[in-house]
Each structure stands twice: as C-alpha cells, then as structure tokens.
C-alpha cells in the first residue's frame, strides 16, 4: 500500500515536528485518533477495492465502486431521520402557534424583528440571514454568525458554544438579548401577546387544561415544536438510501476525499456534525481568536477555543462561514479546515471535489442567497 505508506510517513514527521514544538496534549491525542482513523479508512478502502476486484482509482461511478463507497459512507454518516427527537409529542396546535410566533415581529422591542429576520425559512431560504454576523433590532451587529435553524433540533445542544441544551432553552435567549430582539423581560413579551385575542385563543388551544396557557415557557415550547418540523432531505440522503445516480462522479470523489482525509473524524453522523464539540484551530490557530468559545460556558480551560462541530447539511446555502462569518467562499473554508484541523494541504482538485460533495447536502427545493462581495 504505497499511498497509505506515504500518508503515514508524512503524518509521522508532522507529529514529531509538533511534539518537538510542544503542542498541547489534546491536539496530540487528536492527531493520534485522526491518524488511526485515516489509516483505518485508507486500509479499509484498499481492502474494499481488493474484495471487489477493482483497482484503486477506478472510476468512482462504476456500480461496484459506488456500492463500496456507500457502504463506507454508512459507517460514519447516515441519512437524516424523518422526525426530530421530541416531535412525536408536538401537536398541530403547538406547531401552528410556534410558526406564527417564529414570524412575530412584536417579539422584538421596536417590533422590527422576528426569528425569521435572522433565520429566514420562507422564500426557499436556508434558515440563515447570510450575513457575516447578525444585525439586531437596533441595527447593531452581534459577534457571531447565525447558524441555520434547519435540522437544529437534531443537534447535541444549541449555539456555537452549546450553551442552550435544547430548542426550548434556546428560544428564550434571542428575545431578551439586548443586541438581538432586546425585550427587557419576559413579562413584557407576555403582556404584548396577551393584548391579542387570537394569541389568547391559540395558546389555550395548544396547551389545553392550563390555567394561564399564555406564558413564556409555552411560547418557547411552541416555537420549538415549529422548529422540529424544519427537517431537510437532500441528494446525499437519496444516495445513501440506494440511488447511485443521485451523486455525480465529482461528488462521489469528494465524498471519498471527505472521509479519507479525516473530515469525518469530527463531521459525522446524520447531520455531518452537530453532535459534539471540538477545538477550532488544532494545528494552526484561527486568527484573530478573540472568541474563546465553549470555555465561557463550562469554565474549563480545556474548552478554550472549543466550538460545536457545525452540521454541514445545507452548508452551500448558509454562508458566510465560521462562527464569526469571516469566510465567504466554501472552497476557502474547506482548504482552511484541512490546514488547521488536520494539517493536510488539500489539492485544488480535492477542494473542488469536496465542495461538489458538500453542495449535494442542500435540501431539496432550497435556494441560497448570493453572499455580499467582501
């Protein structure tokens, strides 16, 4: 296995170099894991090719190779489930109320913003504002990029740093955030909604048998119920479900590369991320690293510069990229991830193929918005 051998040697030198320059223990462990996984994937790949009687490098669209690729992909990735956890308890009344609240501008102090302002889910948009960082009710920009609400209920936790444990906890945040919707307190929110007879009726119907159904907890529950309907399915799901032709040759090569170079050590599972936290900037720093990430939540030193591994579903239509939205192009984001997370210099062909693969993750029927030039 000459190619795998070269991989190992190059990585080993890199490992020694990093070890000498005294990089931190966590990164070293990460490197070992990545090294191991990459070697396993590469070896498994060769074994797969050997068993199928195909030469490595044979056209990825030929049927047996496609079947092998799907099999390998299903070891680390998966189709998006039909339903989000908890959705089985949501009633049509709660979902309809949640939808109305998601589009409700009276939830912001000056009645200019709804959730949908920063997470646009109508007009075939992908649940984001496509801004580097979001602009709040009073025109001030926050410090972070708005992640998509599509499929968010599948995530291990909400926000870039995971500070809200679920959609219900998350929904209470932006309404009271002074830079976002800027309401001074929950009672004012409830007072505003209570002046609307339709809301009184809808809350009563959605939460039957409660003495005061129109309350802040139920508002968050209804919004979360609506968000749990925001599940997308895309061509990659179709491919995993057995449709060979759903991915072009370039997209299949990109999927192969995505696994082989080690992106799937972090971006894995049905959401291709969204299921854990990892340091951002393992081999090289992401600069300026002013946002320290998850350490603010856990107060653990080990969580410095640690962020939620974002889901890559719908990634082609949810730019700009990274927690501060500093990267406009998907291709540059991919190249940068290779460099700083894996210490791999991806070739232009690899970057283009991986980008092609990531573009297959756009939900059926969704369109993005072109990003403003930088």
Site for ligand HEC contains 73 (CB under 6 A) = no
Site for ligand HEC contains 225 (CB under 6 A) = no
Quick one: which of 310, 313, 362, 366 contacts ligand HEC (CB under 6 A)? Answer: 310
| Region binding ligand HEC by CB under 6 A among candidate stretches 1-9, 69-77, 200-208, 331-339 | 331-339
Helices marked H in 209-347: 216-227, 235-240, 249-260, 295-298, 330-337
Site for ligand HEC contains 359 (CB under 6 A) = no
In whole angstroms, give the CA distance from residue 10 to residue 31: 13
Site for ligand HEC contains 343 (CB under 6 A) = no
Q: Which residues of 212-228 are buried (b: 16+ CB within 10 A; e: fewer)?
A: ebbbbebbbbbbbbbbb
Site for ligand HEC contains 231 (CB under 6 A) = no
The answer to whether 97 and 222 have CB atoms below 8 angstroms apart is: yes
Task: Write the CA distances from 68 to 39, 52, 357, integer angstroms.
Answer: 17, 8, 17
Site for ligand HEC contains 342 (CB under 6 A) = yes
CB-wise, 62 or 83, nearer to ligand HEC? 83
Task: Tell me the three state secondary structure of residue 25.
Answer: helix
Q: Locate 341 and state its tokens.
A: 């997370």
Quick one: which of 132, 254, 338, 363 contacts ligand HEC (CB under 6 A)? Answer: 338
CB-wise, 239 or 280, nearer to ligand HEC? 280
Cβ 198 to ligand HEC shortest distance, Å: 19
Count of residues of this chain found to bind ligand HEC when the rule CB under 6 A is applied: 50
In whole angstroms, give the CA distance from residue 349 to residue 81: 32
Site for ligand HEC contains 193 (CB under 6 A) = no
Task: Write the CA distances from 239 to 3, 157, 268, 358, integer angstroms.
Answer: 28, 28, 16, 13
Q: What is the DSSP letter of 342?
A: I
Torsion on CA atoms 318, 293, 87, 319, rounded to nearest 10: 0
In whole angstroms, give the CA distance from residue 168 to residue 160: 16
Site for ligand HEC contains 134 (CB under 6 A) = yes
Cβ 310 to ligand HEC shortest distance, Å: 4
Quick one: which of 80, 95, 97, 152 contacts ligand HEC (CB under 6 A)? Answer: 152
Site for ligand HEC contains 333 (CB under 6 A) = yes
Instruction: Give, as ranges, the residues between 275 and 304 that touch ligand HEC (CB under 6 A).
Output: 278, 280, 282
Cβ 4 to ligand HEC shortest distance, Å: 18
| Region binding ligand HEC by CB under 6 A among candidate stretches 37-45, 145-153, 196-204, 207-215 | 145-153
154 half-sphere exposure, CB direction, 13 A CA radius: 27
* 180 noted as active-site residue: yes
In 3D space, the residue among 270, 284, 247, 222 whose CA is nearest the CA of residue 96 turns out to be 222
Quick one: which of 65, 266, 317, 361 contacts ligand HEC (CB under 6 A)? Answer: 266
| Region binding ligand HEC by CB under 6 A among candidate stretches 40-48, 173-181, 207-215, 295-303 | 173-181
In whole angstroms, give the CA distance from residue 168 to residue 120: 19
Q: Which residues of 37-75 are buried (b: 16+ CB within 10 A; e: fewer)?
A: bbeebbeebeebbeeeeeeeeeebbeeebbebbbebbee
Site for ligand HEC contains 66 (CB under 6 A) = no
In whole angstroms, give the CA distance from residue 105 to residue 215: 18
Site for ligand HEC contains 181 (CB under 6 A) = yes
Choosing from 11, 104, 168, 180, which is the catalytic residue?
A: 180
| Region binding ligand HEC by CB under 6 A among candidate stretches 50-58, 203-211, 263-271, 359-367 | 263-271
**Binding footprint of ligand HEC on the chain (CB under 6 A):** 113, 115, 117-119, 134, 136, 142, 144, 146-147, 149, 152, 155, 158-160, 167, 170-171, 174-175, 180-181, 223, 261-263, 265-267, 278, 280, 282, 307, 309-310, 312, 315, 318, 321-323, 333-334, 337-338, 341-342, 354
Catalogue the active-site residues.
180
């Amino acid at each position: 296995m000459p190619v795998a051998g070269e991989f190992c040697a190059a990585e080993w030198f890199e490992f020694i170099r990093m070890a000498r320059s005294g990089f931190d223990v966590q990164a070293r462990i990460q490197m070992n894991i990545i090294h191991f996984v990459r070697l396993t994937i590469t070896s498994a790949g060769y074994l797969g090719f050997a068993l199928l009687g195909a030469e490595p490098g044979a056209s990825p669209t030929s049927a047996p190779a496609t079947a092998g690729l799907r099999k390998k992909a299903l070891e680390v990735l998966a189709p998006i489930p039909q339903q989000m956890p908890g959705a089985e308890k949501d009633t049509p009344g709660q979902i309809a109320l949640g939808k109305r609240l998601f589009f409700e501008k009276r939830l912001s102090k000056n009645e200019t913003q709804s959730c949908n302002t920063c997470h646009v889910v109508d007009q075939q948009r992908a649940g984001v504002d496509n801004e580097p960082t979001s602009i709040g009710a009073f025109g001030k920009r926050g410090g972070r990029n708005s992640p998509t609400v599509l499929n968010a209920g599948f995530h291990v936790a909400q926000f870039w740093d995971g500070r809200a444990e679920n959609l219900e906890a998350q929904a209470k945040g932006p309404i009271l955030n002074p830079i976002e919707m800027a309401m001074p307190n929950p009672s004012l929110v409830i007072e505003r909604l209570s002046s609307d007879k339709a809301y009184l009726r809808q809350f009563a119907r959605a939460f039957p048998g409660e003495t005061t159904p129109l309350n802040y907890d139920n508002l968050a529950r209804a919004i979360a119920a609506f968000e749990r309907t925001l599940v997308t399915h895309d061509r990659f799901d179709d491919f995993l479900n057995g449709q060979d032709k759903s991915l072009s040759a370039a997209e299949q090569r990109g999927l192969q590369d995505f696994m082989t170079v080690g992106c799937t050590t972090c971006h894995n599972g049905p959401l291709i991320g969204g299921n854990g936290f990892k340091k951002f900037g393992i081999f090289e720093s992401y600069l300026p690293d002013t946002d320290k990430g998850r350490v603010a939540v856990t107060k653990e030193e080990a969580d410095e510069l640690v962020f939620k591994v974002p889901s890559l579903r719908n990634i082609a239509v949810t730019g700009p990229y990274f927690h501060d939205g500093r990267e406009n192009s998907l291709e540059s984001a991919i190249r940068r991830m290779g460099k700083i997370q894996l210490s791999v210099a991806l070739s232009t062909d690899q970057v283009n193929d991986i980008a092609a693969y990531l573009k297959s993750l756009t939900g059926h029927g969704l369109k993005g918005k072109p990003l403003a030039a930088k």
